[in-house]
Every structure is written in structure tokens, then in C-alpha cells.
Chain A
Amino acid sequence: MRPDLLEVSGLVKTFRVGGGVFSTSATSLRAVDGVSFRVGYGDTLGIVGESGCGKSTLARLILQLTPVTEGSVRLEGEELVGLGRREMIRQRRKIQIVFQDTYGTLNGRMSAADVVAEPIRNFRLADGAALTARVARLLDLVGLPKDSAGKFPHQFSGGQRQRLGIARALAVEPKLVVCDEPVSALDVSVQAQILNLLKDLQRELKLSYVFIAHDLAVVRHVSRELAVMYLGRIVEIGEAGAIFAAPAHPYTKGLISSVPSSAGTGEGPRELLAGDVPSPMSPPTGCGFHTRCPQAMERCRSEAPPLRQVAAGRFSACHLHETAVTQF
């Protein structure tokens, strides 16, 4: 069987927290706790969850921007975890990232042309006139105006800076782009422009995306598959349309119902999930969600539910699925 483009399995990231340099009292925080998924060629996996659920850490782990504690990340069958610096740099041609904060991730002293040309030069993909032509093509591809090449990041609007960030990511012709909250800092009218652009580019270049965002409607708009994270774990994963139509996990249900209806019914807002996400420093025992779950049982306090298949291509981690017929 041909391997998928990206195969993540049993991924764990722990951070040491508290205590000083010489202290022995430090505890460890499991920011990502046994996450597995696959992303096919030309496919989009959306990842949602509240802040602190580990989605941005996961993005960094996929790109090996932070050391993996445990588990495996395979790109076209090749293991990325434990690769040396040189080999990892070679792999980065296939996998790129687009960030939320375009100010912080674009060098303010580099012109747009230099921002896009740098990765092409680094990989020695083109030089001279060929490089200039390629840069111009990329700026055009992401919809930046003709006179953009000589401009600096601060001369662009927020939406244009994000277009530039996308052009930089695409410069080395990657197969997979990890998008970490790419539109959450943008105004809604500009957000629509970027979402349409990402979809157009995917069709044109057969790109795969791992698309991370806190806005569920945005994620639903771009994703074929969806993973819902809570306290470092995937609690539900499957086909996005099916999950939004009939969520299986109580957390997914609460999350989806919390999104304002935009119907203007005048019936007032609905509050379905009480409380906050518990601190990952002292996660609850058993199922991490039991402190907020309206359907929590005795067993949920002591035993963490594994991901179980609940329908074709759909997995959910909840003890409720074991008893009786799954109801969703």
C-alpha cells in the first residue's frame, strides 16, 4: 500500500513546567498526548479545539520546529522524528507553514521579492532571471498587485501580508502546508479573500492542508476531514461534513452548539458547555472532559476512553459509545 502524504502516530509532547534550574520539583505537562492521524494527497484535515488544547503545538511538531517527545511523523513514508538538521532541511521542501501573526513571521527589513526569493535561493531552485520570474509568478499567484515586489511588509495591509506569507510557503512547491490560524487576525471581508485563495491554490497545485483554527465555521468551510482536540488528545475524528451534521462526542456537540446561530431568531444565545478547559498542568483523571461533560458517568472519572470506531471512517473517544447503540 502506498503510504499517505502525512502519517502521524502516537505523537506526544511534554513540557517541563515549574521549578527552577536546579529544582527537582518540576512537573511535566503533556501538551500533545498520543495523537494519530493521516492526511492524503490533495486533502485537507481541519483541527479545532479551544485554546490550550494543543493544536498549535501539534503544528510545530509536524514540522519538527519543536522536538518530539515520543511518536512518529512520516512524510511520504519517511520518518521525520530524529532526522538530523541537514536531512530535515531537505524535507522542508515538501512541508511548509503559514502562521497567524504575519508581522512577527515576516522579516520587516526584507522586500516582498526577497521574502519569497529566500527559500528558492536556499534550495538552489532558481537564480538570475529565472528566480525573478518565479518570484513574480508567485506574487501574482497569491493575488498581490504587480508593484508589490519592492515593497516591505509594513507597506501591506493585513490581508496582503498573509498573501505574502502564503507565497513564501508555496515558493519551494511543497506538498503539504500547515496553516495555523491563518485568518483569525483578519477582518471578515479579508478573511473570505484568503479562504477563497487557499481553496483555489489547493485545486491548482494539488496541495494538502493541515488547517488549524478556533473558528468552527471557517474550518468546516475548508476541511474534508476534521479532528477535534481536547487537552492534547483527539476526541473525535472523521469526515467533516458528517461530524458537523451529527457529532458523536459530547465535547464536539457542545463546541458546535456554542457557535452563534446567525439566524437572528431573537431567542437569545445558547450556553451548552459550562466552565473552562481545565489547566493542562493538572488535567482531570480519567476522561479529560468529564468535568464539563453533561453526560459524565462514574466510570469517566477514573478511566480514559480510547478512540473507538463509531461509524465508517469516524472515531470518537467516549465511554457512551460502548454502551447501547451509538446515538448521534
Chain B
Amino acid sequence: MVDSLLSVDGLTIDFLSREGSVRAVDGVSFNLRAGETLGIVGESGCGKSVTALSILRLLPRETSRIGAGRIVFDGEDLAAASERRLRQIRGNAISMIFQEPMVSLNPVMTIGDQLREVVVAHGRVPARDARRRCRELLDLVRISDGERRLNQYPHELSGGMRQRVMIAIALACDPKILIADEPTTALDVTVQAQILALIWNLQKSLGTAVMFISHDLRVIADIASRVVVMYAGRIVEEAPTAEIFARPLHPYTIGLLGAVPRLDAPVPDRLVEIPGTVPSPGERRAGCAFASRCDRRIERCRHEAPVLTSKAAGHRAACWVVADAS
């Protein structure tokens, strides 16, 4: 058994509305090991962000509910933790960065004030040393001219610079886990490369475990050591990164890899099409959620949901066709 820092086990999340409840995440289990980068990939609506938000219990209580499962961090089940305890963990032991830093940063506070708020609130540094610590954090995320930046407002910074500030805030308390939810999706490709390199280098030097969420397998390829592929609220495949690109098993993963144009291969005449669209949580039926779009479906897929089956070391897939093949 590998030592895992965070262990999500059988997590089920329901969204509640006047019309009833729909299942957004359905029996998701995975481990995040100390110091590794785990990639979570899937198209919109697959439940990847919902899973991430639920770890820090950031989903609104009025409209969502953890139906079943455990989120064990350091021997403690976060799914059952009190709000008071969660406040101690958020931003301290586990922190998170999001897609659009402009929304997460306060537009009427300077960068320095926002950094100081975190540094002081968690009581890591006495107030008189706060500014020095803020400068250190800006250096850490390679923002030059830190003294001037501390006095600037978010709108005065570029998108890439704002994401660096978010990373600085997230790392202020030396967290054990950094959850990055599509942190480069809104950025230009050159700036995306800068932020990916920054997260990679920080992960190597600080040993922080990173959970990196993206809709783009190409982004995950460079940064993650293991990949979890999600579809319609469930994990359909999990494998070491190199393995998933070399030997994808699940028809959905194979489709995703063929659907994305790549620069490192000749231009194909046509891209692989996955017909139809991702079903919304309300539309899901019994059986495998991918069956209606799958070109390899068999009768069994229609009425029985496949379970994750181990096919090679660290390589699991949830597909009846794959499970039956030896």
C-alpha cells in the first residue's frame, strides 16, 4: 500500500434543487501521494471541479450534499469535519487556485494587503515581519520588482502575473496539498507554459503534492506523474501519465486522445469524433454513462455500470469490453 496523503473513498455528491436531486459525482475513489502531481482530466460536466471543491468543502451547503464517502487527509475525514476545523485546514494545509485569478482576487485591495491578510490570519509570521514575508512569496513565484508590485492593484497586473499572485497566496502557509483547478485555461499559450513551469519547479523544490485539474490532456501530460480521467461523475481510467498516452484502455480516453489536434504528429485528415455530447447529471441512465457515445459498447453496458478494474500496475479502467479482454 502506497502512503497516501489524501485519500478519497467512494465519494458521492448530489446537487439539490426544487425538482429533486441529481448525482454530480458518483463513487469516486483516488489517492494523492505526498509530493506527487496528480492530473484530473475530463470535459465540462464530468465532476472534476466539483470533486476538487468538495475536498475543501467549498460547495454551497444549501444546494449540494456529500451523499456518501470519505475524504481522508492526515488520518482525518474532511467529509465529516466541522466548519471550524475546515477553516484551519483551508489555505493552511490544503490550498487552492482557480481558473480566473481576477475573480478570486479582491479588486479594491493591493496585492500586498491581500498577501498580508493570509500571512497574518494564519498566524505564521508576526505582523511586523509580514511585509518581508510577502516579498519572499513574490520572489518565490518569480515576480520581479516585488516592492512596487505589493502596492499595485490586481487590474494593474497581467493575467499571468495575477495567477502568480494567486499561487503566492496559496503557498503562503506551506501547504501539503495544492489544488489547481484549470489554472492556465484563461492564459495565452506562452504564459501557460510559464505558469506550468512555475508550478512544476515549486512542486519539485517545496515537495507540495499537487492535484492538477484540466480539460486538456496535453497540459496534464507535461506536469502530472499520474492521471485520472473522469466522465459523467465517475472515474473511467487511472494510470501513470506515460502509460495513459502509450496504452490508453478506456474508449473515452482513446477518443479524447484522438480528438485533440497535436503538434508532434502529422496532420490527420480527420480527427477522431466522439459523437454526441457529455450527458448532464439529470440525463444519466443506468449502465455505463459513456455507452450511448461508445463505438465498442456491448449489451451489458446498457444496464450495468462497469467497475474500475486493474489491468496493469497502477492502471485501472472502468469498461466491460476492456475488463473482458485479457
Chain A interface residues (CB < 8 Å from chain B): 50-51, 157-159, 187-193, 195-196, 199, 214-218, 220-221, 241, 244, 254-274, 276-277
The 3 closest A-B pairs by CB, nearest first: A269-B196, A271-B197, A192-B259
B66 at the interface (CB under 8 A from A): no
A272 to B256, alpha carbons, bound, how many Å?
Answer: 27
Q: For A276, give the chain B residue with the smallest CB separation.
A: B158
List CB contacts (< 8 Å) of B12-57 with chain A: 43-44
Say whether A221 contacts B223, CB under 8 Å.
no
Residue in contact with A276 in the complex, picked from B189, B191, B204, B225, CB distance below 8 Å: B191
Whether A264 pairs with B255 at a CB distance below 8 angstroms is no
**Chain B residues with Cβ under 8 A from A267's Cβ?**
222
Partner of B193 from A192, A265, A272 at Cβ < 8 Å: A272
List residues of chain B with CB under 8 Å of any chain A CB.
43-44, 158-161, 188-194, 196-198, 200-201, 204, 215-219, 221-223, 225, 241-242, 244-246, 255-256, 258-264, 267, 269-275, 277-278
Residues from chain B with Cβ under 8 Å of A192 in the complex? 258-260, 271-274
Contact of A187 among B215, B261, B263, B269 (CB under 8 A): B215
Docked complex Cα distance between A196 and B267 (Å): 12
CB distance B277 to A217 under 8 Å?
A: no
A258 contacts B242, C-beta separation under 8 Å: no
Minimal beta-carbon separation of A113 from chain B (angstroms): 22
Chain B contacts for A220, CB-based, 8 A: 261, 263, 267
Can you give 18 contacting A-B residue pairs, CB < 8 Å?
Answer: A188-B256, A189-B256, A189-B259, A190-B277, A195-B271, A196-B271, A217-B260, A255-B189, A259-B189, A259-B218, A260-B196, A260-B218, A264-B221, A265-B222, A265-B242, A270-B193, A270-B197, A272-B193
Alpha-carbon distance between A273 and B196 when the two chains are bound, in angstroms: 13
Contact of A262 among B200, B225, B262, B275 (CB under 8 A): B262
Q: Which residue of B lies closest to A159 (CB)?
A: B277
Distance from A283 Cβ to chain B, minimum over Cβ atoms (Å): 15
| A258 in contact with B192 given A188-B215, A217-B260, A265-B242 (CB within 8 Å) | yes
Given the complex, which residues of A lie within 8 Å of B262, measured CB to CB?
217, 262
Residue contact A187 to B193, C-beta cutoff 8 Å: no
Contacts of B255 in A (CB 8 A): 189
Q: Contacts A159-B277, A187-B278 known; list 17 others, CB within 8 Å.
A: A188-B256, A189-B273, A190-B277, A192-B272, A192-B274, A216-B189, A216-B263, A217-B262, A255-B189, A264-B222, A266-B225, A268-B222, A269-B200, A269-B223, A271-B196, A272-B190, A276-B161
CB atoms of A263 and B264 under 8 A apart: yes
Contact A266 B188 (CB under 8 A): no
Residues of A within 8 A of B260 (CB): 188, 191-192, 217, 262
Q: What residue of chain A has the Cβ atom nearest to residue B43's Cβ?
A: A187
- In the complex, are the beta carbons of A276 and B160 less than 8 A apart? yes
Q: Contact at A50–B194, with CB atoms within 8 Å?
A: no
Indicate if the CB atoms of B197 and A254 lie closer than 8 Å.
no
Closest to B45 in A: A187
B191 lies within 8 A of A189 (CB): no
* Nearest CB on A from B249, distance (A): 15
Which of B44, B188, B221 touches A263 (beta carbons < 8 Å)? B221
A218 and B192 CA atoms in complex are apart in Å by 17
Does B245 lie within 8 Å of A264, measured CB to CB? yes
Are the C-beta atoms of A188 and B273 separated by less than 8 Å? no
B226 to chain A, nearest CB (A): 11
How far apart are the CA atoms of A171 and B6 in the complex, in Å?
Answer: 55
Distance from A193 Cβ to chain B, minimum over Cβ atoms (Å): 5
Give Cα A254–Cα B198 distance, bound, in whole angstroms: 17
Q: Are B273 and A196 in contact (CB under 8 A)?
A: yes
Interfacial chain A residues near B200, Cβ < 8 Å: 268-269
